[in-house]
Amino acid sequence: MDWETSFDEYLEHLCEAIGHSDRRAGLVGYCQGLMLPIARKSVEPLAAHLEPHRVSARHQSLHHFVSKSEWSDAALVEQVRRWVLPHMNPSNGLYWIIDDTGVPKKGKHSVGVARQYCGQLGKQDNCQVAVSLSVATTEASLPVAYQLYLPKEWADDPARRRLAGVPEEIGFATKPQIAIKQLREARQSGAPNGVVLADAGYGNDTAFRDGVSEMGLQYAVGIQSSTRVWPPGLAPLPAESSQGKAGRPRSLQRRVPGHNPVAVKDLALALEPSRYQTVSWREGTRTALSSRFAALRVRASHRDYWRAAPRDEEWLLIEWPIGELEPTKYWLCTLPEETAVEHLVHVAKMRWRIERDYQDLKQEFGLGHFEGRGWRGFHHHASLCIAAYGFLVAQRLNEGGKKNSEIRSAPALPTDYIPRGSPANAATRT
């Protein structure tokens, strides 16, 4: 089957998720536009390339579909997952990757924009940040949830919320709280078991790790070097005996001087050099990627003096590259005790796949190109970008690695076309 016929079938599949039939033209047109290899994928350029001689009318209809129309983002992305997941081979492992991405944004009126860390820029700046959940195998990955992080100054400002159309049920939530909600909803919709992967921005949060375990899922998450754990064989002391003492019986664990958890960095530095071994985890662009790792069984210690029983043992994985003065990365991992170090490394390093998602979504599908200011438009545009990307993921799995520009060409624009907002004497485009 040629790709155009397959794309038509895919769009028909997606249309089942958006309700009214009069929304079909909007979804089909928007996804067709996002598949075009053009530099800018905001509404007006999409309209210009889809219908060069009816730009204004097409722009109006697409703008209404993406900014105003009341269809469910979750239902659309779920429909994408149902199409793509059967093409993904989980025989070598299935993973749920949690991350966030920033889109630089000027001004202060676009929903959620604030001065915060932007990964795309590598620094603090004005941007919007969204939390995503992706399903991944060793061959491919696909975002299955995407939600804007609403900073506290936005969540607590009724006027800004009203102008941006933020739903009443959306309050302030930390990024780990958003991620747990996404993961829980994915599980409720029938998502399969998989190992949860996340960086230290999520792994440092004990409630996040506990939430993943409560769903019956394993995790391999980054943590900071200052995270404190109980070394192998150690745990908090049991509750003090209440014999002969007045009051209620003691039930909480305790710590005493000389019996305390340690920072993972101190634990790593104290290990014998022989505990570290070189492990390769995948082929890079030029050579195999490898580093030195050590793994040991520890217990997380966060506020365990409020618990009656010690936390379960889990793996602490440490990376100390040759030539570095100290270890550079740490993970906590709940894979079984008999898991080999090589497999722990393979799992922990699988998080790299999310970078491919973000790269393609931004460069090939215009994830950050939406020019509206509202909550609904922001999420509708992102969901449609994920929908277009989902088709490309399935095509790659079926036919080998391809870029979007390799399977479709852009139609030519009229010689007298002038982009909206350009000066009257702007040069024409070809």
CB 341 within 8 A of CB 320: no
Give the C-alpha separation, 347 to 170, whole Å.
33
Give the C-alpha separation, 421 to 406, whole Å.
31
Take residue 348 and report the two structure tokens written for it: 């922990």
Query: What does the pLDDT read at residue 430?
Result: 37
Ramachandran assignment for 229, one of left (phi > 0), alpha (psi -120 to 50 degrees), beta (any other): beta
Residue-wise pLDDT tens digits, 311-338: 889 999 999 999 999 999 999 999 999 9
Per the listing, tokens 């309050």 go with 171
β-pair type (195-198, 95-104): parallel
Query: What does the pLDDT read at residue 19?
Result: 86
- The helix/strand/coil state of 296 is strand
What are the Cα distances from residue 62, in Å, to 55, 144, 154, 288, 312?
10, 23, 28, 46, 53
pLDDT (tens, 9 = 90+) of the chain, 430 residues, equals: 688 899 999 999 999 999 888 899 999 999 999 999 999 999 999 999 999 989 999 999 999 999 999 999 999 999 999 999 999 999 889 999 999 999 999 888 999 999 999 888 889 999 999 999 999 999 999 999 999 999 999 999 999 999 999 999 999 999 999 999 999 999 998 888 999 999 999 999 999 999 999 999 999 999 999 999 999 988 877 776 655 555 555 666 777 777 789 999 999 999 999 999 999 998 777 788 999 999 999 999 887 766 767 788 999 999 999 999 999 999 999 999 999 999 999 999 999 888 889 999 999 999 999 999 999 999 999 999 999 999 999 999 988 655 554 555 555 555 555 555 444 444 334 3
- The helix/strand/coil state of 429 is coil
CB 368 within 8 A of CB 53: no
Query: What does the pLDDT read at residue 219?
Result: 98
Give the C-alpha separation, 316 to 335, whole Å.
11
Give the C-alpha separation, 297 to 233, whole Å.
8
The H or E element that residue 330 is part of is strand 329-333
Give the C-alpha separation, 186 to 194, whole Å.
11
Give the C-alpha separation, 79 to 67, whole Å.
20
Cross-strand partners of 196: 96, 219
Give Cβ neighbours of residue 214 (< 8 Å, ≥ 6 apart).
none
CB 168 within 8 A of CB 68: no
φ/ψ of 57, rounded to 5, equals -65, -40
- Could you give the angle at the alpha carbon of 97 between the alpha carbons of 27 and 16, nearest 5°? 25
DSSP 111: T
Evaluate the CA torsion angle 34, 36, 39, 43 in order and state its sign: negative
Statement: the pTM of the whole predicted model exceeds 0.75: yes
**Spatial CA neighbour of 407 closest among 34, 29, 30:** 34
Per the listing, tokens 């919007």 go with 128
Residue-wise pLDDT tens digits, 98-157: 999 999 998 889 999 999 998 888 899 999 999 999 999 999 999 999 999 999 999 999
Query: What does the pLDDT read at residue 417?
Result: 55
Give the C-alpha separation, 18 to 70, whole Å.
9
Alpha helices in 16-99 (DSSP H): 24-35, 43-50, 55-67, 73-84
**Spatial CA neighbour of 396 closest among 382, 407, 383:** 407
